[in-house]
Copies of this chain bind each other. A is one copy, B any other.
Amino acid sequence: MSREPRTAIATVCLSGALEDKLPAAAAAGFDGVEIFEPDLVASPMPPGEVRLRCADLGLAIDLYQPFRDLDSTDPQRFAANLRRAEHKFGVMEALGTDTVLVCSSVAPDAVAEIDLLAEQLHALAERAAARGLRIAYEALAWGRQVNTYDRSWEAVRRADHPALGLCLDSFHILSRGSDPAPIAEIPGEKLFFLQLADAPHLAMDVLQWSRHHRLFPGQGAFDLPAFLEPVLRAGYTGPWSLEVFNDVFRQADPARAAVDAHRSLLALAEATAARGEGSGQGSDQGSGLVTDPVAEPAPELRGHAFVELSADESLAPVLGALGFTRTGLHRTKPVERWEQGQARILVNRSGGPVAVAALAVESADPPAAARRAMRLSAPRLPRERGPAEADLAAVTAPDGTALFFCRTGARAVEGTDWTGDFVPTGETAGRDGAGVGVTGIDHVGLAQPFDHFDEAALFYRTVLGLEPAATGEFAAPFGLVRSRAVADPLRRVRLALTVSLLRRGEWAPGVSEPQYVALAVDDVLAAARAARAAGAPLLAIPDNYYADLDARLALSPERLAAYRDLGVLHEETPEGAYLQVCTEVLGGRVFLALVQRIGDHDGYGWTDAPVRMAAHRRRRLAREHVRTRL
């Protein structure tokens, strides 16, 4: 792990005041911080006290930032700016940090002439050097005269002062579509600082994009490993520091956000190392490339092992009607195992609200998967285990769901087969015509807490080794919903994550979007018919939906009649179709769906989600109405 990068985070990434941010950064495992000037200005801690506080917390102060609008075509104003800088140098001395970020000017008096700019930067560097300090000059993507890294490098090169170097910020460079490859040609000792941020592709004003929509590495669309490659090749050896302005992170619990942030850097180091290996550019070149993997690679996934639902008594009859068989009873806990095909659902009656309590994946190497998860700051799940129970590796996901790594049955290593924790009931699943044709778990749908959507997507992806599979946005009855799916390359494990675009308010109070388990079937009509015959509470879909389906797709009258009868939702794309029949929401939070994929459909039925959500909402209101009248 000796080649692991030093990690840092700018205090502006986190919510709260400096008194909240510093402990959060330290607890998450960061080596250092950038002190964002407005955080210091609003703080009652004098700079010397901040220095001591950071030292106590084991945090270096890697950077003070930003110093704005240095250069000026007006000599008097430039003199005033140097005076302002001297004041800030005093602050830096008290803080005990030696590097200040100077960003390119956005002011009307910004210097266009490169030699005059170099001269002014040189003058500043001379003053900094006199106090043992350094200047890291950064091109803002919206700087008035300097807005590309090559322009900033040209100014620094001409200024030619040992106390003057560059700060590179991935956002400013990649948002403009600049090619980072030539960075490799810049002398490494001139790369004073590196700020990392990801972002979604957004066609919008770059300043607004930067101020509101940056993300931690791996949460956006930038190819940061490709960006890092020339930076490391140039010989940069300083910290990898996050500077992420994000509306959601700015108002979320800083302790949680810091953990998310730190995980993103570990995952980035891993992806960068993998890229280095892949391109044969290993450590043998002595280029400063990080090549030691930060965590063990994610072991192969072979499917969903089980989903555990905490439930009341309403769930078991529905599972039965959906063709599941109760195959086992837990030796020590009030947990039942239900099976059909490769689908396994544990029903936990320990109490607590109806919810997806746990996800378990089939892993080729559960202990390695668990070590990787811990390394990626996944909180270990505290579990009580009986003497004869399997030692399942488990962590907790950002939404509170427990995540287990398993090898089921024959593939299990001694003492880790979770099925051994269950006493067989003698009933056998999926034989003798039992069941409705469920073959396995297609995916699990997890509505995420508002503050933790990007965190959750990154968590599941990096901890499990999944890849982004789909993103979407749809209109629910109470507002817009963002959705994102992550899956393994072979689509044996799929998760669909959703979050409302705005935190839910007073309208439609107290209603959070349900979670669900999508059960794979080969023939959704047959499965739904059988399930309904057995009493499954299938969700009714309005006739208007089928009139529209008929107008759009010209399905056969028989098919349409069957759809209408059973409440089938049919999403069609050029790649194929996604057919689903949903149950009502059980116990307020969870529903089950029978899902048939046709062709190469790789989606999740999101175009039909508004219809499904409106139907679920209607059922809920009707139930509440009945309850009110009783």
**Cα separation A195 to B617 with both chains bound (whole Å):** 30
Interchain CB contact under 8 A, B203 and A205: yes
A349 within 8 Å of B (CB atoms): no
Q: How many residues of A contact B (CB 8 A)?
A: 64
**Cα separation A574 to B547 with both chains bound (whole Å):** 63
Known A-B contacts A17-B477, A202-B204; the reply to A252 vs B505 at CB < 8 A is: yes
How many copies the complex holds: the figure is 2
Q: Which of B204, B480, B551 contacts A250 (CB 8 A)?
A: B480
Interchain CB contact under 8 A, A544 and B47: yes
**Cα separation A250 to B505 with both chains bound (whole Å):** 11
Measured between beta carbons, the chain B residues less than 8 angstroms from A41 are 542, 544-545, 548, 611
Interchain CB contact under 8 A, B544 and A611: no
Interchain CB contact under 8 A, A618 and B505: no
**Cα separation A80 to B555 with both chains bound (whole Å):** 12
Q: Which of B202, B503, B552 contacts A84 (CB 8 A)?
A: B552
Using CB atoms, name the residue of chain B closest to A540.
Answer: B44
Interchain CB contact under 8 A, B611 and A42: yes
**Cα separation A204 to B480 with both chains bound (whole Å):** 19
**Cα separation A208 to B251 with both chains bound (whole Å):** 24
Interface residues of A in 25-44 (CB under 8 A from B): 37-38, 40-44
A501 within 8 Å of B (CB atoms): yes
- Name the distance in Å between A530's Cβ and chain B's nearest Cβ: 26
Measured between beta carbons, the chain B residues less than 8 angstroms from A478 are 15-16, 251
Using CB atoms, name the residue of chain B closest to A207.
Answer: B203
A522 within 8 Å of B (CB atoms): no
A610 within 8 Å of B (CB atoms): yes
Measured between beta carbons, the chain B residues less than 8 angstroms from A617 are 17
Q: Which of B43, B208, B547, B550 contacts A614 (CB 8 A)?
A: B43
Interchain CB contact under 8 A, B502 and A614: no
- Name the distance in Å between A205's Cβ and chain B's nearest Cβ: 4
A116 within 8 Å of B (CB atoms): no
Interchain CB contact under 8 A, B205 and A475: no
Interchain CB contact under 8 A, B480 and A614: no
Measured between beta carbons, the chain B residues less than 8 angstroms from A547 are 87, 91
List 26 A–B pairs whose Cβ atoms lie within 8 Å, in order of A's numbering: A15-B478, A15-B479, A16-B507, A17-B617, A38-B610, A41-B545, A42-B544, A42-B545, A42-B615, A43-B544, A44-B542, A44-B543, A44-B544, A84-B551, A87-B547, A87-B550, A87-B551, A91-B547, A203-B205, A203-B208, A204-B205, A212-B480, A251-B478, A251-B507, A451-B507, A503-B503
Nearest 10 interchain pairs by C-beta: A251-B479, A204-B204, A87-B551, A203-B205, A42-B614, A503-B503, A44-B542, A253-B507, A84-B551, A250-B479
